[in-house]
Amino acid sequence: MSTAGFNSQNGTGTGQTYANGPSQNPVTLQQPPGVGYGMNHQPAYNPMQAKAPAPPGPGLYPSGPFQPVPPVGSYQPSPELSSYPSALGQPLLSRPLVGGHPSYTPPLSASPGPRLPPAQATPPPPAVTSASYYPNPPQLMAPAWHYNAAATSMGPASSMSTPPRGPVANHVNPTVSLAAPSPPPHMSYSTAQPSGPGVPPTSIHGYTQPDTGPPPMNPLASNTYQPNRPPYGAPPTGPPPTMKSTPPPTGPPVTSGTPPPPKADGDVAGNGPQAPNSYNHVDNRMAGPTQPGPPGRHLGHYPSLPPGYQNTPTPPAPSSFHPAIQAATQPFIQGAQPYQQPPGGPGPAQLSPSLAAMSLQSNTPEALRVVNLLQERNLLPPNPVPAPTPCLTQDLQKLNCSPEVFRCTLTSIPQTQSLLNKAKLPLGLLLHPFKDLSQLPVVTSSTIVRCRSCRTYINPFVSFLDQRRWKCNLCYRVNDVPEEFMYNPVSRSYGEPHKRPEVQNATIEFIAPSEYMLRPPQPAVYLFVLDVSHNAVETGYLTVFCQLLLDNINALPGDSRTKVGFITFDSTIHFYNLQEGLSQPQMLIVSDIEDIFLPTPDSLLVNLNESKELVQDLLKSLPNLFEKTMETQSALGSALQAAFKLLSPSGGRMSVFQTQLPNLGVGALQSREDPNQRASAKDVQHLSPATDFYKKLALDCSGQQVAVDLFLLSAQYCDLASLGCISRYSAGSVYYYPSYHHQHNPAQVEHFQKDLKRYLTRKIGFEAVMRIRCTKGLSIHTFHGNFFVRSTDLLSLPNVNPDAGFAVQMSIEENLDDMQIVSFQAALLYTSSKGERRIRVHTMCLPVVNSLSDVFAGADVQAITGLLACMAVDRSVTASLSDARDAMTNAAIDSLSSYRQSALTIQQPGLLAPACLRLFPLYVLALLKQKAFRTGTSTRLDDRVFAMYQLKYQPLTFALLMIHPALYRVDDLNDEGALNINDQTIPQPRVLQLSVEKLSREGAFLMDAGIVMYLWIGRNCQPSFLSQVLGVPNYAAVPEKLHLLPELDTAESQRTRAFIGWLRDQRPFFPSLHIIRDESQLKPHFMQNMIEDRTESALSYYEFLLHVQQQISK
Residue 779 CB, shortest distance to Zn ion, in Å, is 15
The nearer residue to Zn ion, 474 or 615, going by C-beta atoms, is: 474
Residue 329 CB, shortest distance to Zn ion, in Å, is 47
The nearer residue to Zn ion, 380 or 475, going by C-beta atoms, is: 475
Site map (CB under 5 A) of Zn ion, residues 877-896, x = contact: --------------------
Residue 256 CB, shortest distance to Zn ion, in Å, is 21
Residue 453 CB, shortest distance to Zn ion, in Å, is 5
Residue 162 CB, shortest distance to Zn ion, in Å, is 8
Residue 120 CB, shortest distance to Zn ion, in Å, is 11
Residue 800 CB, shortest distance to Zn ion, in Å, is 25
CA distances from 668 to 537, 634, 636, 638, 722 (A): 20, 8, 8, 10, 10
The nearer residue to Zn ion, 474 or 994, going by C-beta atoms, is: 474
Type of residue numbered 907: Q
Side-chain-facing half-sphere of 238: CA atoms under 13 Å: 4
Does residue 1108 sit in helix, strand or coil?
A: helix
Cα distance between residue 548 and residue 559, in whole Å: 20
Does residue 587 sit in helix, strand or coil?
A: strand
β-pair type (606-607, 563-569): antiparallel
Residue 302 CB, shortest distance to Zn ion, in Å, is 54
Cα dihedral across residues 1060, 1064, 1066, 1071: positive or negative: positive
Residue 161 CB, shortest distance to Zn ion, in Å, is 10
The nearer residue to Zn ion, 450 or 929, going by C-beta atoms, is: 450
The nearer residue to Zn ion, 474 or 578, going by C-beta atoms, is: 474
The nearer residue to Zn ion, 475 or 1082, going by C-beta atoms, is: 475
Cα distance between residue 478 and residue 969, in whole Å: 57
DSSP state of 316: P
Buried b vs exposed e over 464-486: b needs ≥16 C-beta within 10 Å? bbebeebbbbbbbbebebbbbbb
DSSP codes of every residue in 644-708? HHHHTTT-EEEEEEE-S---SSTT-------GGGTTT-SS----S-S-SHHHHHHHHHHHTTEEE
Residue 837 CB, shortest distance to Zn ion, in Å, is 23
Cα distance between residue 1020 and residue 1012, in whole Å: 24
Of 852, 854, 866, the residue nearest 926 (C-alpha): 866
Cα distance between residue 456 and residue 160, in whole Å: 12
Residue 456 CB, shortest distance to Zn ion, in Å, is 5
- Show contacts with Zn ion in window 376-435 (CB under 5 A): none
**583: Cβ–Cβ under 8 A, 6 or more apart, which residues?**
none
Residue 483 CB, shortest distance to Zn ion, in Å, is 20
Buried b vs exposed e over 638-659: b needs ≥16 C-beta within 10 Å? bbbbbbbbbbbbbbbbbbbbbb
Residue 473 CB, shortest distance to Zn ion, in Å, is 8
Helices 956-963, 920-929: axis angle to 10 degrees equals 70
Strand partners, 1005: 969, 1016
The nearer residue to Zn ion, 158 or 1111, going by C-beta atoms, is: 158
- Show contacts with Zn ion in window 110-169 (CB under 5 A): none
The nearer residue to Zn ion, 664 or 829, going by C-beta atoms, is: 829
Residue 452 CB, shortest distance to Zn ion, in Å, is 8
- Show contacts with Zn ion in window 447-466 (CB under 5 A): 451, 453-454, 456
- Show contacts with Zn ion in window 959-988 (CB under 5 A): none
Are the beta carbons of 848 and 354 closer than 8 angstroms? yes
The nearer residue to Zn ion, 451 or 844, going by C-beta atoms, is: 451
DSSP codes of every residue in 1-52? ----GGGGG--SSTT--B------SHHHHTSPTT---S----S---GGGGG-
Cα distance between residue 400 and residue 858, in whole Å: 16
Cα distance between residue 450 and residue 484, in whole Å: 13
Are the beta carbons of 1067 and 940 closer than 8 angstroms? no
- Show contacts with Zn ion in window 637-666 (CB under 5 A): none
The nearer residue to Zn ion, 447 or 988, going by C-beta atoms, is: 447
- Show contacts with Zn ion in window 999-1018 (CB under 5 A): none
Are the beta carbons of 52 and 301 closer than 8 angstroms? yes
β-pair type (912-914, 966-969): unpaired
Cα distance between residue 521 and residue 504, in whole Å: 29
Residue 828 CB, shortest distance to Zn ion, in Å, is 19
Cα distance between residue 47 and residue 306, in whole Å: 7
- Count of positions on this chain that bind Zn ion (CB under 5 A): 8
The nearer residue to Zn ion, 119 or 881, going by C-beta atoms, is: 119
The nearer residue to Zn ion, 10 or 158, going by C-beta atoms, is: 158
The nearer residue to Zn ion, 3 or 779, going by C-beta atoms, is: 779
Strand order in the sheet with 469-471: 463-466, 469-471, 478-480
- Show contacts with Zn ion in window 469-508 (CB under 5 A): 472, 474-475, 477
Contact range with Zn ion by CB under 5 A, out of 399-407, 446-454, 912-920, 1010-1018: 446-454
The nearer residue to Zn ion, 728 or 773, going by C-beta atoms, is: 773
Peptide bond into 135 cis (omega under 30): yes
Cα distance between residue 97 and residue 724, in whole Å: 32
The nearer residue to Zn ion, 618 or 822, going by C-beta atoms, is: 822
The nearer residue to Zn ion, 453 or 880, going by C-beta atoms, is: 453
Residue 819 CB, shortest distance to Zn ion, in Å, is 14
Of 1033, 972, 963, 1029, the residue nearest 1000 (C-alpha): 972
The nearer residue to Zn ion, 454 or 970, going by C-beta atoms, is: 454
Cα dihedral across residues 864, 870, 873, 879: positive or negative: negative
Residue 481 CB, shortest distance to Zn ion, in Å, is 14
Cα distance between residue 189 and residue 740, in whole Å: 49
- Give the number of other CB atoms < 10 A from CB of residue 80: 6
The nearer residue to Zn ion, 163 or 184, going by C-beta atoms, is: 163
Contact footprint for Zn ion (CB under 5 A): 451, 453-454, 456, 472, 474-475, 477
